[in-house]
């Protein structure tokens, strides 16, 4: 991973009789990425992005962005909708209309004009049932997206929907170039379209960097986009190097051949060592706790092994047998944030949720009592057995990776000590982004996803990954609870902040009581960077750490 000058190196423009001017080539910022992106788009027809934070910010721009205080700023839009104004109208029948006015003279990476029609194109694509998203919010509650002129986007909503200023339309329906995608989309709206070269090597975006080169399985390189709406990026070339082996990444960081890790390429335990012994003289380490880490139970009757995990009492018994603080200490030297739900107590409604939810402190006696209630008792070897269900034997599975595998081994060991026989298995890196693999595990799958209100909303019945929706959806446990679904529907219809907090707390209570997922902690993603990189700062969990990548400097 050399730091050679760009293949588009500066030209001196030397005329006859002059000596060449010796200029120092701009340095290439090399970022270690554990996974090769399946797409450069912030959302694509293919499920399975793994840690897309940095490339998402590099190549994409949306109506708004969240800054280092977690506050929304206009990006492509001149302003964000304001309730009870012409930009956010609520009608007596419960429908809504929101309007976004785009900034003037926007262009795509290829120089073509950016238009409001590009948002209409995005809506047409992602609302197609064949792509598996039409049944999920916000697509399920949007009636139509129109562009009355080249700079105006109007969304008509079937019902009230609170989060329109940032998360909903901005994140879920990013702009797509209609000039590029109209023809392939008209020809095919399924697998062929999902695999169109546009999403990878032919990507055209509107973010601060544009794709210059992609060597599959090795690296991609990007250069500044002169037409970026917030100004030209300051780093002249970025290389995203795909390095699956964490030890190789560490060696390259120590040798100075790489300059930034992407949050997944180095484990948190190694990052803590960097923070203590390397960062004070050679750079910095940011541990961004923006992932909800949980143990998801398999609740599909045809797959659940043992069948007893479909009983909430068994899931609660496993929760009481999990020593979260021991896991945190062993994995992260206590730097992770032990949690009881996906809602952080630091949010405005976090304290209310924290008071409302069911909690499962480490309590082996309570765990044993719950198993007794279900008909299990410990046999001569200390493992639970039932006269009807037989021996309790399960599978603890996770994605390949140093932290993941250590976590899995410790967790399976803790459960074995309490009488639950678990074998430890692994999803290879090549299948880590495969939706079907992530949904069809036999017993327990430990994995990470975004935290907060959005994570709670993804656990509705509509979020269950199935063959019909191309295995899209974060409800990997296939949990379905009508009362929970009704509360989330009501939440989406509620604009009042206090009422929303009450509904979130009620929904979180149902979720934690039925316990389709044991919340373990908010997992820290490590971003290690060299001293020559300036501009990267710690951000709140909801903000992309690369939100200001166009302002970063590297020398």
Tell me if 7 is assigned to some domain: no
pLDDT of residue 164: 62
Residue 264 maps to a domain: yes
Lowest pLDDT segment from 46-50, 398-402, 518-522: 46-50
> Do 131 and 210 share a domain, yes or no?
no
Which residue, of 166, 182, 198, is where some domain finishes?
A: 182
What pLDDT sits at residue 505? 95
Assess whether pLDDT exceeds 60 at residue 23.
Answer: no
Residue 405's CATH number: 3.10.105.10
Higher pLDDT pick, 107 / 285: 107
Q: Residue with structure tokens 């992260």? A: 332
Domain contains 3? no
Residue 295 confidence (pLDDT) above 90 = yes
Whether residue 138 is preceded by a cis peptide bond, meaning omega within 30 degrees of 0, is: yes
On whether residue 246 sits in a domain, the answer given is yes
Q: Are residues 137 and 158 in contact, defined by beta-carbon separation less than 8 angstroms? A: no
Does any domain span residue 362? yes
Q: Does residue 200 register a pLDDT over 60?
A: yes
Out of 167-181, 401-415, 447-461, pick the least confident.
167-181
Q: Supply the pLDDT for residue 18.
A: 35
For residue 208, the tally of other CB atoms under 10 A from its CB is 29
Is residue 432 located within the same domain as residue 444? yes
Give the whole-number percent of the chain exceeding pLDDT 90: 57
What is the arithmetic mean of pLDDT over 283-303?
89
Strand-strand pairing, 384-386 and 390-391? antiparallel
- Shared domain for 216 and 238, answered yes or no, is yes
| Lowest-pLDDT choice from 141-145, 149-153, 312-316 | 141-145
The pLDDT value recorded for residue 128 is 85
Nearest of 435, 400, 439 to residue 303 by alpha carbon: 439
Given a contact cutoff of 8 angstroms between Cβ atoms, the answer to whether 106 and 229 are in contact is yes
Q: Residue 299 is part of which domain span?
A: 290-524
Verify that 326 and 466 share a domain, yes or no: yes
Same domain (yes/no): 449, 308: yes
Do both 45 and 125 map to the same domain?
Answer: no
Closest CA to 62 of 174, 147, 230: 174
Number of structural domains, the chain?
A: 3
pTM more than 0.75:
yes
Confidence at residue 168, expressed as pLDDT on a 0 to 100 scale: 52
Residues 416 and 313 both lie in one domain: yes
CATH number for position 543: 3.40.190.10
Select the more confidently predicted residue: 485 or 160: 485
Q: Mean per-residue pLDDT for 316-320?
A: 97
pLDDT, tens digit, 9 for 90 and up, residues 106-123: 999 999 999 999 999 999
Co-location of 258 and 328 in the same domain: no
Q: Which of 182, 202, 218 is the last residue of a domain?
A: 182
CA distance 523 to 288: 8
- Mark whether 304 and 266 lie in a shared domain: no
Pairing of strands 393-399, 444-450: parallel
229 with 312, same domain? no
Q: In this structure, is residue 14 part of a structural domain?
A: no
pLDDT at 434 over 90: no
Average pLDDT of the chain? 87
Check whether 2 has a pLDDT greater than 50: no
Residues 130 and 273 in one domain: no
Is 86 a domain residue?
Answer: yes
Answer whether residue 12 is part of any domain.
no
pLDDT number for residue 49: 46
What gap in Å lies between CA 166 and CA 179, rounded to an integer? 26
Higher pLDDT, 19 or 406: 406
**pLDDT band at residue 163 using 50, 70 and 90 as cut-offs:** low
Q: Where does the pLDDT of residue 141 fall: very low under 50, low under 70, confident under 90, or very high at 90 and above?
A: confident
Q: How is 318-358 classified by DSSP, letter by letter?
A: HHHT--HHHHHHHHHTT-SEE-SSSS-TTSTTHHHHHHHS-
- On whether both 383 and 511 belong to a single domain, the answer is yes
Crossing angle of helices 402-417/268-277, nearest 10°?
A: 120
User: What is the structure's pLDDT at 4?
Assistant: 34
């Amino acid at each position: 991973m050399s730091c050679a000058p760009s293949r588009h190196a500066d030209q001196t423009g030397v005329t006859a009789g002059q000596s060449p001017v010796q200029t120092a080539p701009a340095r290439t910022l090399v970022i270690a990425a554990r996974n090769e992106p399946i797409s450069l788009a912030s959302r694509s027809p293919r499920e399975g992005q793994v840690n897309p934070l940095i490339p998402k910010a590099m190549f994409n721009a949306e109506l708004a962005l969240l800054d280092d205080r977690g506050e929304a700023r206009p990006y492509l839009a001149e302003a964000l909708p304001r309730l009870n104004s012409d930009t956010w109208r609520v009608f007596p029948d419960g429908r809504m209309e929101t309007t976004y006015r785009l900034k003037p003279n926007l262009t795509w990476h290829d120089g073509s004009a950016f238009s409001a029609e590009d948002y209409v194109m995005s809506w047409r694509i992602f609302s197609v049932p064949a792509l598996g998203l039409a049944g999920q919010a916000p697509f399920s509650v949007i009636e139509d997206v129109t562009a009355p002129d080249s700079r105006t986007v109007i969304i008509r909503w079937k019902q009230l929907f609170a989060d329109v200023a940032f998360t909903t339309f901005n994140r879920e329906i990013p702009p797509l170039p209609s000039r590029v995608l109209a023809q392939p989309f008209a020809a095919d709206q399924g697998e062929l379209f999902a695999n169109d070269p546009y999403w990878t090597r032919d990507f055209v975006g509107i973010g601060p960097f544009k794709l210059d080169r992609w060597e599959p399985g090795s690296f991609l390189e990007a250069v500044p986009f002169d037409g970026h709406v917030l100004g030209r990026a300051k780093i002249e070339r970025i290389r995203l190097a795909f390095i699956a082996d964490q030890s190789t990444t560490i060696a390259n960081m120590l040798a100075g051949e790489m300059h930034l890790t992407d949050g997944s390429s180095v484990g948190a335990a190694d990052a803590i060592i960097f923070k203590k012994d390397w960062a004070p003289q050679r750079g910095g380490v940011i541990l961004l706790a923006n992932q909800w880490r949980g143990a998801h139970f398999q609740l599909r009757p045809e797959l659940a092994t043992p069948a007893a995990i479909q009983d909430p009492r068994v899931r609660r018994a496993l929760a009481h047998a999990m020593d979260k603080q021991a896991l945190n200490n062993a994995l992260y030297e206590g730097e992770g944030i032990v949690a009881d739900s996906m809602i952080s107590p630091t949010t405005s409604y976090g304290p209310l949720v924290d008071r409302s939810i069911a909690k499962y402190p480490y309590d082996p006696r309570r765990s044993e009592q719950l198993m007794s209630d279900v008909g299990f008792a410990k046999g001569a070897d200390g493992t639970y057995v039932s006269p009807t269900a037989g021996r309790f034997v399960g599978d603890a599975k996770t994605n390949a990776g140093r932290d993941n595998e250590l976590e899995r081994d410790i967790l399976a060991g803790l459960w074995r000590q309490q009488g639950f026989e678990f074998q430890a298995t692994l999803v290879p890196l090549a299948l880590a982004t495969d939706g079907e693999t992530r949904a069809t595990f036999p017993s327990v799958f430990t994995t990470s996803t975004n935290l907060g209100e959005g994570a709670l909303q993804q656990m509705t019945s509509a979020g269950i990954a199935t063959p019909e929706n191309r295995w899209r959806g974060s409800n990997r446990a296939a949990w379905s609870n009508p009362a929970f679904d009704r509360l989330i529907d009501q939440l989406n219809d509620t604009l009042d902040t206090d009422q929303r907090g009450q509904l979130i707390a009620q929904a979180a209570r149902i979720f934690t009581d039925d316990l389709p997922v044991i919340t373990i902690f908010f997992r820290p993603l490590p971003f290690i960077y060299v001293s020559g990189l300036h501009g990267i700062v710690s951000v709140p969990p909801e903000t992309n750490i690369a939100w200001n990548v166009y302002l970063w400097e590297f020398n």
